[in-house]
Structure 1
Amino acid sequence: MARPRILVVGAGFAGVACVRRLERKLAPDEADVSLVTPFSYQLYLPLLPQVASGVLTPQSIAVSLRRSSRYRTRIIPGGAVGVDAKAKVCVIRKITGEMLNEPYDYIVLAPGSITRTFDIPGLVDHARGMKTLAEAAYIRDHVITQLDLADASHDPAEQASRLQFVVVGGGYAGTETAACLQRLTSNAAKRYPRLDPKLIKWHLIDIAPKLMPELGDKLGRSALEILRKRGIDVSLGVSVAKAAAEEVTLTDGRVLPCRTLIWTAGVAASPLVATLDAETVRGRLAVTAEMTLPGFDGVFALGDAGAVPDLAGGEGAVCPPTAQHSMRQGRKIADNIMATLRNQPLQPYVHKDLGLVVDLGGRDAVSKPLGIELRGMPAQAVARGYHWTALRTNVAKTRVLTNWLINAVAGDDFVRTGFQSRIPATLRDFEYTDAYLSKEQIREQLASGAGGPGPAAGDD
């Protein structure tokens, strides 16, 4: 009898938490565990704005899977592009482009999310995202490039378009991105004596009537005051009507000269979800409180992919796809898979949100740990303390802490590496939404026989 095969899709907070729990708790001969991910690291996403602003180096928040694992998990370098739940096979496109049919007995769907875009003319061709390490590194280079080119230009119109920056999305990602990058350009302006600092303008826009409503009215207003005091133009109830290479048209009729449009206006579940043809809630799989998918044997979903009922949030509520919930859901799914293997009852996921932290760069922050509202340095200490303790390895903690200390003492640097300088790196270039297979393509791929190793559990 072959060992049961557990396949975890995605190396985000949810997937890695699940794998680590399985590695610690499973007996060596109890099951085989595989992890599907195109990268050999877990990205600590909340600190991505600090990579974009140069406070942290990219490798600081890329936590090595091979350093933190116990070497029992087989890592498949690629991305899942389709699932046939009836045949219990996941179709994987490896980083070489080769297709692989990977059989499983239990599958954990934690493929993360994609940037949520709308039918806005020019958006995917001209906007840039903030979901990957490459995008953050590119945006830093791009912003500094605009300062360099504006400094060398004698054309006022060119300077105006290069020195205006638009960030769309008033959630955590957008607010922190705008705050951290505005601080970078403000400090950089001192190194460009030919540029008038007043020409450098940052815009943060969001269609919602409030900035980060999850913080509550008081802290939301505090964050808004901090941003506006820094000179960031915050426009609420407004979005993008049209994007072009050198300007952005807003829904209120304003046309902003702009060559930097950063889009962080929400996320959508991975298109992998649609390949299962299962019931969804706002694009996420409608799972039980135990995170099983009804009607699908051996399928679990969580995080951005699963609409997990929030038993601590009232009837009908679902857990938001935050890192805090995802990590705990990953551990609970691991427990439930082990319970299934051992013929024990599954347990529901229950967790009450512990609070929120927002790092606005420098000494500015707002936080709400355990419902306590904090501002300024106390909030900054809580925010950075939370992020630091959440990093899984001592190497990552050492790198992040060292970067913070260096930045506090030496300040920002404004080196433009030139990496990807000739690549557009817009949403179209990073969002591979056309990579997923239709049901017909999945059937054709399974018929091709490019299978994974070994028979299914229970097969002869």
Structure 2
Amino acid sequence: MERPRILVIGGGFAGLECARRLERKLAATEAQISLVAPFSYQLYLPLLPHVAAGVLTPQSVAVSLRRSLRRTDVIPGGAIGIDPRAKVAIIRKITDQEIVEPYDYLVLAPGSVTRTFDIPGLTDHARGMKTLAEATYIRDHVIAQLDLASTTLDQNERAERLQFVVVGGGYAGTETAACLQRLTTAALDRYPRLDPRLIKWHLIDIAPKLMPELGDHLGARALKVLRERGVEVSLGVSVKAVDEHAVTFTDGRVIPSRTLIWTAGVAASPLISTLDAETVRGRIAVTAEMRVPQFEGVFALGDAAAVPDLAKGDGAVCPPTAQHSARQGKKVADNLVAALRNQPLQPYYHKDLGLVVDLGGKDAVSKPVGVEMTGVPAQLVARGYHLMAMRTNVAKFRVGCNWLINATAGDDFVRTGFLARQPARLRDFEYTDAYLTKEQVREHAQALQAKH
């Protein structure tokens, strides 16, 4: 008898946790497990600001899928369309070869992409912080601005290169601004020709508060830390337009700048739009058991799914966080096992364990299990949480060693240069234009099946 085929789309927190738990709970004879991922690692997203700032090396936050998984087939590519009626996924491999992958059970965990708006120049000039390549590029770019500003005689060019704008007052934006501001401050000793007063970091957000999820006290504490370091934080403000030389704010200010880092939220992977399924604000609607009700054997979770938040109630859905994604991955695996064994499925219910925000150095704000903390204790909690959450001991060891080396030896402010002179638009890093339309999926799948 042929084993049921379980296909997991996505190797992030949700997809990897699901596949790991399936391996533990199912015998090899019970199911064939495959996971589709464009890269051979799970990206530990919360530490990307540390990569951008050079505190961690890129490899440190790239948790090996093949070290984490033992008998799951890892397909190197990305799903560009799903035909749930024919029970096939269209996969584009990293060689650009397209194949059709059949399944009996499908787990949709494709994650999210950077959310953008119809702002003139945004998609051409903004840089994201969603991928490892983007974080590495931003580090190179920021150091390049210091290199170029220190040698130019053009005062306007120097002003443009030494002002940096980060959009988004959530965790990603706040940590990015905090860590990169520390990078440029520490680098000043290596650039004696630069006037420290010319280096300016701007953090803006349309919301009236910084990181409102932390509560008024901790949010105000984080705001105070940033402003004391010289970061200009503007709330109730967004971007009106951006070009190669300046960023225009909605309050009328024009900031001479060649660096716009965009972290203003996320949107579900475009893969979701290839299915003819109900959505909630762009995320696929699922039951509390994370089933997609329109299609048999299809589950969805993580950033791409509107999973009901039973802990909050009142129709709330779980926010797109790593904490929820990892725990949803485990619950979906449990429900898949139950489905295979004709047992009842269980709803996802999770009480938030708290929040941690690493502002670099000795600065942090944390709220583990509702206890508010600041300074060094909060930093220890934040870094301890990240080490605990990483999926392999090798990754934990690398991150811990990197933190120690950076704290004792500092940074050499080296540009790797491997992305120099390459397009650095959001779509270049996140492949948002790679997907089929839902009208194309059925025809495309049939053509591929006939071909092969």
The alignment's TM-score, normalised by the length of structure 2, stands at: 0.99
Structure 1 residue aligned with 2:234 = 235
Which residue pairs with 2:425 in the alignment? 426
Q: Are 2:117 and 1:99 aligned?
A: no
> How far did residue 181 of structure 1 move?
0.2
Q: How does 1:255-404 map to 2 (within 5 A)?
A: 255-404=254-403
Distance 1:219 1:74 in 2: 44
Cα distance in structure 2, aligned partners of 1:416 and 1:433: 27
Cα shift readout 1:127-150 (whole Å, capped 9, x = no counterpart): 100000011011000000000000
Residue number in structure 1 paired with 2:7? 7
What SS is found at the alignment partner of 2:201?
A: strand
Q: Does the residue aligned with 1:336 lie in a helix, a strand or coil?
A: helix
Cα shift at 1:425: 1.1
2:294 partner SS: coil
Aligned counterparts of 1:232 and 1:364: Cα–Cα separation in 2: 14
Deviation at 1:412, TM superposition (A): 2.2
> How many Å separate the matches in 1 of 2:223 and 2:49?
18
Cα offset, 1:452, TM superposition: 11
Residue 124 of structure 1 is matched in structure 2 by 123
Q: CA RMSD in A?
A: 1.1
How far apart are residue 431 of structure 1 and its match? 3.1
CA distance in 1, matches of 2:95, 2:280: 34
Runs (4 or more) in structure 1 with deviation over 2 Å come to 449-453
Amino acid aligned to 2:51: V
- Structure 1 alignment gaps of length 5 or more: 454-460
The CA distance in 1 between the partners of 2:363 and 2:315, in whole Å, is: 36
Does structure 1 residue 67 correspond to structure 2 residue 67?
yes
**What is the aligned partner in structure 2 of residue 442 from structure 1?**
441
Distance 2:349 2:407 in 1: 39
Q: Which residue of 1 aligns with 2:405?
A: 406
- Give the % identical residues: 76
In the alignment, the residues of structure 1 paired with residue 19 and residue 451 of structure 2 have an alpha-carbon distance, to the nearest angstrom, of 20
Gaps of 5+ in 2: none
Tell me the distance in 2 between the aligned counterparts of 1:437 and 1:337: 28
Question: In structure 1, how many angstroms separate the alpha carbons of the residues matched to 2:318 and 2:211?
Answer: 17
CA distance in 2, matches of 1:325, 1:452: 40
Write the distance in 2 (CA, Å) between the matches of 1:10 and 1:449.
Answer: 22
Q: Distance in 2 between matches of 1:120 and 1:99?
A: 34
1:439 CA drift (Å): 2.6
Offset at 1:302? Answer: 0.5
Cα deviation, residue 215, structure 1: 0.2
Check the 8 A contact 1:116/1:266 in 2, yes or no. yes
Structure 2 CA distance for aligned equivalents of residues 452 and 202 of structure 1: 54
Superposed displacement of residue 315, structure 1: 2.3
**In the aligned structure 2, how far is the partner of 1:191 from the partner of 1:347?**
57
Which AA in structure 1 matches 2:102? P
Task: Tell me, yes or no, if the aligned pair for 2:131 and 2:430 is still in contact at 8 Å.
Answer: no
Q: Is the 8 A contact 2:179 2:360 kept in 1?
A: yes
Read off the aligned partner of 2:211 and give its amino acid letter.
M
Aligned counterparts of 2:451 and 2:114: Cα–Cα separation in 1: 31
* 1:305 CA displacement: 1.2
After alignment, is 363-372 or 431-440 more displaced? 431-440
Counterpart residue identity of residue 26, structure 2: L
Partner of 1:456: none
| Cα deviation, residue 451, structure 1 | 7.8
> Which position in structure 2 is the counterpart of 1:155?
154
Q: CA deviation at 1:395?
A: 0.8
The residue that corresponds to 2:223 in the other structure is 224
Deviation of residue 450 (structure 1)? 3.5
Match of 1:38 in 2: 38
Contact 1:52 1:136 in 2 (8 A): yes
Alpha-carbon distance, 1:179 to partner: 0.2
Amino acid at match of 1:378: P
Question: In structure 1, what is the equivalent of residue 80 of structure 2?
Answer: 81
- Match of 1:56, as an amino acid? L
One-letter amino acid of the structure 2 residue matched with residue 66 of structure 1: R
Matched with 1:48 is 48
- Tell me how far apart the structure 2 counterparts of residues 296 and 131 of structure 1 sit (CA, whole Å): 30
Asked whether the 8 Å contact 1:102–1:451 carries over to 2, the reply is no
SS at match of 1:152: coil
- The Cα offsets for residues 136-174 of structure 1, whole Å up to 9 and x where unpaired, read as 011000000000000001111110000000000000000
Q: Is the 8 A contact 1:101 1:445 kept in 2?
A: no
Question: Equivalents in 2 of 1:58, 1:382: separation in Å?
Answer: 23
Cα distance in 2 for residues equivalent to 1:292 and 1:104: 15
Report what 1:458 is aligned to: none
**Aligned 1:87-236 pairs, distance under 5 A:** 87-236=86-235
Shift of 1:235: 0.4
For the pair 1:28 / 2:32, whether they are aligned, the reply is no
What's the secondary structure of 1:416's corresponding residue? Answer: coil
User: How many angstroms does 1:190 deviate by?
Assistant: 1.5
CA distance in 2, matches of 1:449, 1:198: 60
| Contact residue 42 and residue 64 of structure 2 kept, 8 A | yes
1:261-283 CA-to-partner distances (Å, cap 9, x unmatched) read 00000000011111111111111
Change (3 A) 1:452 1:42: farther
What is the distance in 1 between the residues matched to 2:115 and 2:282?
11
Distance apart, 1:200 and its partner CA: 0.3
For 1:254 and 1:451, locate their aligned partners in 2 and report how far apart those are by CA, in whole Å: 58
Asked whether the equivalents of residues 99 and 450 of structure 1 are also in contact (C-alpha less than 8 Å), the reply is: no
SS in 2 for 1:434: coil
**1:186 & 1:119 partners in 2: Cα distance?**
34
- Letter matched to residue 376 of structure 1: G
How far apart, in 1, do the equivalents of 2:253 and 2:130 lie? 28
One-letter amino acid of the counterpart of residue 337, structure 1? L
